[in-house]
Structure 1
Amino acid sequence: MSIGVRSNGQAVRRAGIVGAFSAPNRAMSSLAPLNQLITRFQEQTPIRASSLIITLYGDAIEPHGGTVWLGSLIGLLEPMGINERLIRTSIFRLTKEGWLTAEKVGRRSYYSLTGTGRRRFEKAFKRVYSAGVQGWDGAWTLVMLSQLSADKRKQVREELEWQGFGAIAPTVLACPRCERADVTATLLDLDALDDSIVFETHAQEVLASRAMRLQVRESWKIDELGQHYSEFIRLFRPLWQALREQAELDAQDCFLARTLLIHEYRKLLLRDPQLPDELLPGDWEGRAARQLCRNLYRLVYAKAEEWLNSALETADGPLPDVGESFYRRFGGLN
């Protein structure tokens, strides 16, 4: 891989000039926990390159204007052990699925999120960077699906569960905190609004009874989710400790750590209904996982930005600066 120099003197990786890699080619980090995480990612079957690319766009590329040259993207992901052919195949698939769109400038292709892809990203990543779980007044939203066909009920249930609903009966879903407008929009999109019944309870005592806690544990599979959070802590706490002991942080290590961190945490949050604290166990692993994610992100983000600025380029050259909203992640990065 050769290194080119922009007119402004900033170094940029010219990854696009090399041929397809015959095998993953990455330089090992000096940090054993980081190498273990990279190896774990590579050993997935199949390797989730498309999902990682979405993580990268949402976490790092979108804040910088959202558009990058494919060649520089290939160079950025090479240390993850993802070869060029797999990246190109994944980009093609994401484009076909409506996540990305391409613009040709000469012989180069520049990819950015589509409008639909950006809305999906904002919806999926909103939870990731929030300062914390909002307060709860004890109110519930209930959706009854008994008038839907079995196939339509399954479709609606899957979508509402992604939004934080849990099944408290075979045809009744409940959510302790949601926007009525969001529920209505979802049911309308799925052509299920006229055949669904939506109830809203009044605010009540937020302290959950024993029966309520048991119901929540059962309906939202709290024990299983807690195990996933424990695994996340087991994987990333050694990396947090190793990075804290470094006299000087390496920019590429920080980028890799940040990308893997958000990639794994995002997958967890897709399973997490974000229930109010009042309904969760006192030793809920999700709290410790969130604190670890926030602390690790705050530690590595600045050096990771240095690596992104040197490795990625747009049709105009350097990446645009991030906006103020970027620094509000996790309640404030500075």
Structure 2
Amino acid sequence: MSSLTPLNQLINRFQQQTPIRASSLIITLYGDAIEPHGGTVWLGSLIQLLEPMGINERLIRTSIFRLSKENWLTAEKVGRRSYYSLTGTGRRRFDKAFKRVYSANLSAWDGSWCLAMLTQLPADKRKQVREELEWQGFGAIAPTVLASPRFDRGDVNATLLELGVQEDTILFETTTQDVLASRALRMQVRESWNLEELAAHYSEFIQLFRPLWQSLREQPTLDPQDCFLARILLIHEYRKLLLRDPQLPDELLPGDWEGRAARQLCRNLYRLIVAPAEQWLESAMETADGPLPDVGENFYKRFGGLT
């Protein structure tokens, strides 16, 4: 157990999940910590890293097997040891899931929208496409019409292509609007996106991690293992929030939007603990060639710049 009460409370909270989401935490570990160091690590290192989280060896092995079956991970045998890395498909999924986590402030919105009409899709396929586009921030403004004020046309087209519906989905892009957020538009946003529920989740995140931030700031020295555990839990919980967050422009959000404070807290806490956490990773993780490779320059661009 850690000497930090807020960290122990977060670990206990994770352990009390039924069932424990070990596979999801392993994806967080790969995305946040392993991928920047080359992407491959010995299974024994994973077991050592996650044991303080209350995840036993059997559950880790079961989760790794499941992630391999789902084409997230691939294994390489060297002697009697297995080394796991993200597959190409897993890396693409990771890029989609994580790129918003570490991004700097969002660019200004020009008032344009992307509209996706699903009228020509069969009902079963329409549901699948809707779920995928909602994951990318789209909201339903009509039963068969989705809209997004922030969109990456390349990501949208790639998603439609992967689902085999690019020829059957109609995409429009609107032009820049003079009035970015009229009263009618703000009312539509409240109907199309469940902002109240998302705000409640952001508020819970702040209540969970602010005590940890305050406790760590008061420490004369930071324990590397504590910092690693805090970092993985922080990104794990924040990533889950961003999967629900359409990242609407400020013009469409309430003035007291909790997401802003949550992002600031996440950025500040991550910057505080990242260096000691890296020390722990370098001592605990092992590749087939020995020590971990150094991280690249892109790693230090997270959250607008790490020091």
Q: Which residue of structure 2 aligns with residue 317 of structure 1? A: 290
What is the SS of the residue equivalent to 1:194? helix
Q: Deviations over 1:101-141 (max 9, x none)?
A: 11111111111111111111111100000012221100011
Where does residue 16 of structure 1 map in the other structure? none
1:175 paired residue number: 148
Q: Which protein is bigger by CA-based radius of gyration?
A: 1
Give the C-alpha shift of residue 302 in structure 1. Answer: 0.2
Range 215-224 or range 260-269, more displaced: 215-224
2:41 maps to 1:68? yes
- 1:177: Cα distance to partner? 1.9
Q: Does 1:33 align with 2:32?
A: no
The alignment status of 1:144 with 2:144, answered yes or no, reads no
Structure 2 residue aligned with 1:295: 268
2:194 aligned residue: 221
In the alignment, which residue of structure 2 is the partner of 1:330?
303
Q: Which of 47, 52, 55 does residue 79 from structure 1 map onto?
A: 52
Instruction: Give secondary structure in 1 for the equivalent of 2:168.
Output: coil
Distance 1:181 1:60 in 2: 27
Preserved contact between residue 110 and residue 180 of structure 2 (Cα < 8 Å): no
2:227 to 241, 254, 279: 254
Counterpart residue number, 1:153: 126
Q: Distance in 1 between matches of 2:52 and 2:179?
A: 48
> Which of 115, 119, 137 pairs up with 1:164?
137
RMSD, aligned CA: 1.0
Structure 1 gap ranges (5+): 1-27
The answer as to whether partners of 1:168 and 1:219 remain within 8 angstroms in 2 is yes
**Take 2:289 and 2:135, find their aligned partners in 1: how far apart are those partners?**
39
Q: How far does residue 206 in structure 1 lie from its aligned partner after superposition? A: 5.0
Q: TM-score, normalised by structure 2?
A: 0.98
Larger deviation, residues 204-213 vs 266-275: 204-213
Q: Which residue of 2 aligns with 1:269?
A: 242
TM-score normalised by L of structure 1: 0.90
Encode CA deviations 1:221-272: one digit per residue, 9 max, x unaligned: 1111111100100100000000001011111100000000000000000011
Question: Where is the helix percentage greater, Structure 1 or Structure 2?
Answer: 2
206 and 320 in structure 1: CA distance in 2 versus 1, 3 angstrom threshold: farther
- The answer for unaligned runs of 5 or more in structure 2 is none
Q: Deviations over 1:275-295 (max 9, x none)?
A: 111111111000000000000
Aligned pair partner of 1:42 in 5, 12, 15: 15
Give the match's secondary structure for 2:100: coil
What SS class does the counterpart of residue 167 from structure 2 fall into?
coil
1:208–1:279 CA contact under 8 A, matched in 2:
yes
> Which of residues 240, 252, 257 in structure 1 aligns to 2:213?
240
Which SS does the other structure have where 1:178 is aligned?
Answer: coil
Contact 1:101-1:111 within 8 A present in 2 as well: yes
After superposition, give the CA deviation of every residue in 1:4-23 in whole Å (9 maximum; x if it has no partner).
xxxxxxxxxxxxxxxxxxxx
Task: Note if contact 1:137-1:206 (Cα within 8 Å) is conserved in structure 2.
Answer: no
Counterparts of 2:41 and 2:125 in 1: how far apart (Å)?
A: 39
Question: What fraction of aligned residue pairs are identical, expressed as a percent?
Answer: 83
> C-alpha displacement at 1:196, in angstroms?
2.0
Name 1:188's counterpart in structure 2. Answer: 161
Distance 1:108 1:193 in 2: 43
- Find 1:204's aligned residue among 170, 177, 180: 177
